[in-house]
Structure 1
Amino acid sequence: MRTQVGIIGAGPAGLLLSHLLYLQGIESVIVETRSREEIEETIRAGVLEQGTVDLLNAIGVGERLNKEGHFHEGFELLFQRKRHRIHVHELTGGKYITVYAQHEVLKDLISARLQTGGQIRFQAEQVSLHDLDSERPKIRFRQGSDGEWQDIVCDFIAGCDGFHGPSRPSIPAARRTEYQKLYPFGWLGILIQAPSSAPELIYARHERGFALVSTRSPEIQRLYLQVDPRDDLANWSDDRIWTELHARLETDDGFQLIEGPIFQKNIVSMRSFVCDPMQYGRLFLAGDAAHIVPPTGAKGLNLAAADVQVLARGFSLYYRSNQRDYLDRYSEICLRRVWKAERFSRFMTTMLHRDEQHSPFDQRLQLAELEYLTSSRAASVSLAENYVGLPLEF
């Protein structure tokens, strides 16, 4: 098989890139190890920056988002039993925070790609990359353990296959530098069947640990608790979860957390990670294949969207006018934004979580930071503009 751009991974980065290329008349084929059903049924959080929403609308996949998404004008910081609203809509000149789950974004993108004749090779096995430093790199895989090996010969390969995919390890170790920070806490996330407890997200800093109130739909809510990432879900009964949530979300103004049946639980660890450079030969990394952020800053999907906009522009310049300079600067352009997002995500994470290594001095600094953010307009503007997304620099 022959195509212009071979894409590994049908996550947000791969699907967005494929659709952007289609709109510019550039061929692509996506190779994905999971089935369509597995992708669409894996429930994941989704807080979208204004720029990501604008992009989805611009490429014609925002219809369902505009009907079912939750458009928030702000969020709340809760500490010392008091809630403080950050009015991002007013502080950023009219931008919104949009809550729309990642798996719903993926459903919309998969539908759009298939309706326009896009090729997605689901359930590919033993995917590998070859000849990356040649003019004809290729992707090798087979569908089914008894299937024949298939090669896709490409002009370029986009590695959009996440942290554990084969793309990043295909870059020689001597040609990449990996930066990583592991955090000593994780999130226990639950999905419940209940009406929303609050009109906007609540980020809570408490002596017992962090908590987050989010939403998925009018009937389904998403809640998080800070826990030890090595903990066992068996240690967390429903009663224990609700006891902790009520304790960490208690306020002087009588905020009431609405309970409901818990139908999903999971514990995720937290890390920051960056691969530099994000390219090698004719391979370009995008999304989680190149960088990971802790979820506190809500940047994961949005960074992927920014990456592929830069990459799609580079491919367009190459095919329209044979300009390679922009593609050669892909890492430089993307990493400027990536490191700013890493900074913000780490800032939010360390400010809101309880760390066993924190001294009483460190804890007082956390409170001082929160008090400054919620009392200074300049600090609130900085927080708001980072949260809704910094302008995309091309």
Structure 2
Amino acid sequence: MKRLIKNGQLLVDGQLKVQDLLIEDGKIAAIGTISSSEVAVNQIYNAQGLFVSPGLIDVHVHYREPGQTDKETIKTGSQAAAHGGFTTVAAMPNVVPTPDTPERMANMLAKNQQDGAVHILQYATITTDRGGDQLVDMPAMKTAGAFAFSNDGNGVQTSATMYEAMQQAADLGMAVVAHAEDDSLKYGGVMHEGAVSKRLGLPGIPSVSETAQVARDVVLAAATGAHYHVCHVSSAATVQVIRAAKQAGVNVTAEVSPHHLLLSDEAITTDNAMLKMNPPLGSEQDRQAVIAGLLDGTIDMIATDHAPHTDAEKAQSMLKAPFGITGSETAFAMLYTRFVKTGQFSLAQLINWMAVQPARVFKLTTIGALKVGAPADLAIFDLTTPTTIQKDQFLSKGNNSPFIGETVYGQTKLTLVDGETAYQA
């Protein structure tokens, strides 16, 4: 099977350049000026005026299967990823039962492979059932195919447990990917503790809940040499801790979610569970700090934390509704519209944070760039036509997005995974 992408705009040395791209047997066979009369192809896609990007990589998604398939399934979640231009994702282990044994990991990987519209990497838990202090058999989980270790949704509360996990992960050459949250500092909160929470009369979560655990963990990472990756950084103080740790030579990397770049707690004007996520939206100072951290390299990448829930759950008060919003289908367009079109980021920077850096940090050596011989994982975006985000266009089961109704640029036109169509508008 040969496919030719004609007249697309590719990033070359940070600038858009019109080039063709030939795909053969699931790989990129050539990039340049390619005549369809000289190469016998099965299919030609005219990408004139469109941006041809490396497939985006999202190291933080929640697919809810097994156990909560009313919220999402591997099939619907991965279709949503393809709709957003993602070709590789990493699924968090907060499913029921959790992938905390080699057998469960093998089952998850088989299901991911069977139902996935994109490549799905699978996290193992750090501890049994994602809680307590009993470490999983980390060497066996690596052998079974685990991508990395995470208890995402919960912070590891005991220092000794995290220390021992990092020691083993360092020996295995694996990453510990942390949802940093000290439960003793949450105080039953449902949003960021600050002027807005006080005005709305809603219990707040102080940002030190995140920062205190990151501060602990970078010390443990320094002591063990482990690769410590911080999920969804949300506060200015956390950015400062990570920046200092990097300057000290600690092997720490970090991600930020689109919603923490796009919104602060000032967006919460009423008791609205569509704006309830964990970590919560911080202050405007926090938002500016995570943007600055991304720009100066303190934060390495953007990851969606795609977290679907049912309409009924999110119709409740913030006091009762679950934390989390969807992100796969809105991330690129929202970030391109708010930051690239306004000149705050370049397109090359955005692709670096959404494709190049996730591949580099997690040693995914064959993806993250368009190059001859690489898998034909790519996304084609329309950067010039405005569209409105509508929930009836979502392929995810979850409609829990605060961005429904936004006018954006950057609609996905085509997503290819190993040269095969995963999504087409």
More helix by proportion, 1 or 2? Answer: 1
TM-score (norm: length of structure 1): 0.27
More strand by proportion, 1 or 2? Answer: 1
